[in-house]
Amino acid sequence: MTLKIHMLTLGLVQTNCYIVGDEQTHDAVVIDPADSAPEILAVAEREGWTIREILLTHAHFDHVLALGDLKTATGAPYRMHKADLPLLETLPQIAQTFIGTSVPPAPPPDRFVDEGDTIQVGPIRLDVLFTPGHTPGHVSYVSHEHAVVFSGDCLFLGSIGRTDLPGGDYNTLMKSIVGKLLPLGDEYTVAAGHMQTTTIGRERMSNPFLLEWMGDAG
């Protein structure tokens, strides 16, 4: 399998959307359709890929603004964790509050994901980790074959996801990072929801939030 990953930084909050495609079968998965469905579709068209699945790491507005248009254009089902449904169902109100823009309600999810699930799209295999803390239903998607984790707003380069928004919890988030992401291994690339990519090893060694937490725990 030849996996190719496009990262698009979209929207007012500069949120990363990932298009994961297999260059042999031309199957593709979109993770976090942050905004601008035309830009996402243009990449898939240029690569000759067919979008088969849409996956959400969580349901904050800046990760789902293109969800409805992308689903309509592709017919692809989408999945998320059930615990984030309340966030999704208040999308129009939240978007109005944070960015002053009217957006339509999000379509209901086709399926739910949880810890231990595997998303299989042709040869593309993504394992689900339940990584709450930033939101109650936050998940991360892992390609073990290619040593990459799509961490959403759980772990960033030199930082971590916010926990001061409704449903956030700092202790829960840190336990998710230390208990679920760090054990993946230092060589794993962290494809995060904002900013550039990093690695588990880099964050283990230099992330100030992790160093403080692990120092306190030790």
Would the pLDDT of 218 be above 60? Answer: no
Mean pLDDT of the chain: 94
- Fold of the CATH domain 3-217: Metallo-beta-lactamase; Chain A (3.60.15)
Query: What tens digit of pLDDT does each residue of 45-99 get?
Result: 999 999 999 999 999 988 999 999 999 999 999 999 999 999 998 877 877 777 7
Query: What tens digit of pLDDT does each residue of 168-217 get?
Result: 999 999 999 999 999 999 999 999 999 999 999 999 999 999 999 988 66
| Token code pair at residue 183 | 């054990």
Strand order, beta sheet including 15-22: 3-10, 15-22, 27-31, 50-55, 78-80, 111-112
Domain chopping of the chain, boundaries: 3-217
Q: What global pTM score does this model have?
A: 0.95
